[in-house]
Amino acid sequence: MSERSQSRLDTVLGVVLAFGMVAALYMAFIEAPREKTMGDLQRIFYFHVPIAIAGMTSFAVNFAASLMVLIRKNRWWDHLALAAAEIGVVFFVIVLVTGSIWAKPEWLVWWTWSPRLTASLILCLLYAAYLLIRNYIEDPERRALVCAVFGIIAFLDAPLVWFSIRWWRDIHPSPMLETGGLSPSMRPAFYVCLAVFQVFLVYMLRRRFFLESMRDELETFERQIG
Amino acid sequence: MAMKKIWAIFQKDLLIELRTKDTLNSMLFFGIVVLVVFNFALESLRDSVHSAVPGVLWVAFAFSGTLGLHRMFASEKENSCLQGLLMIPADRGGIYLGKMLAATVFMLIAEAIIFVLSLVFFNLTVWKEIPYLVLICLIGTLGFTAVGTLLSAIAVNTKLREVLLPLILFPVILPVLVNAVEATAILLNKSDYGALKLPLTVMSVFTIVFVTVSYLLFEYVLED
A132 with B221: Cβ contact below 8 A: no
> pLDDT at position B224, please?
67
A146 with B154: Cβ contact below 8 A: yes
Task: Tell whether A121 is within 8 A of chain B (Cβ).
Answer: no
Residue B156: which domain range?
2-221
Q: For residue A37, give Cα distances in angstroms to A40, A41, A94, A172, A181.
A: 9, 9, 24, 16, 14
pLDDT surpasses 90 at A57: yes
d(CA B173, CA B147) in angstroms, rounded, equals 7
Confidence of residue A2 (pLDDT cuts 50, 70, 90): confident
3-state secondary structure B122-179: CCCCCCCCHHHHHHHHHHHHHHHHHHHHHHHHHHHCCCCHHHHHHHHHHHHHHHHHHH
Confidence of residue A178 (pLDDT cuts 50, 70, 90): low
**Which neighbouring-strand residues pair with A35?**
A39
pLDDT surpasses 80 at A61: yes
pLDDT surpasses 80 at A176: no
What is the average pLDDT value for chain A, to the nearest integer? 90
Element (H, E) at B185: helix B164-188
Q: What is the tally of structural domains in chain B?
A: 1
Task: Tell whether A156 is within 8 A of chain B (Cβ).
Answer: yes
Which positions of chain B have pLDDT values less than 50?
none
> pLDDT at position A85, please?
97
**Which neighbouring-strand residues pair with A39?**
A35
Q: Nearest by CB to A163, from B154, B159, B202: name it.
A: B202
A70 with B167: Cβ contact below 8 A: no
d(CA B213, CA B192) in angstroms, rounded, equals 34
Query: For residue A165, which residues of chain B lie inside 8 Å, CB to CB?
Result: 178
Task: Tell whether A167 is within 8 A of chain B (Cβ).
Answer: yes
A149, A166, A167: which to substitute to probe chain B, counting the most B Cβ within 10 Å?
A149
Query: For residue B200, which residues of chain A lie inside 8 Å, CB to CB?
Result: none
pLDDT surpasses 90 at A3: no
> pLDDT at position B1, please?
57
Q: Which residue of A has its CA nearest to B213?
A: A153
What is the average pLDDT value for chain B, to the nearest integer? 90
A133 with B168: Cβ contact below 8 A: yes
Taking only the tens place, the pLDDT of each residue in B32-91 is 999 999 988 888 887 788 888 999 999 999 999 999 999 888 888 888 888 888 888 778
Q: Which residue of A has its CA nearest to B209?
A: A156
In terms of Cα–Cα distance, which of B196, B162, B170 is closest to B72?
Answer: B162
d(CA A222, CA B90) in angstroms, rounded, equals 38
d(CA B140, CA B179) in angstroms, rounded, equals 8
B149, B186, B217: which to substitute to probe chain A, counting the most A Cβ within 10 Å?
B217
Instruction: Please tell me the distance in Å from B11's CA to the nearest CA on chain A.
Output: 28
Backbone φ and ψ for A112, nearest 5 degrees, come out as: -145, 150
Taking only the tens place, the pLDDT of each residue in A143-165 is 999 999 999 999 999 888 888 87
Higher pLDDT, B1 or A125: A125
Q: Which residue of B has its CA nearest to A124?
A: B171
> pLDDT at position A1, please?
63
A149 with B150: Cβ contact below 8 A: yes
Task: Note whether ipTM > 0.90 here.
Answer: yes
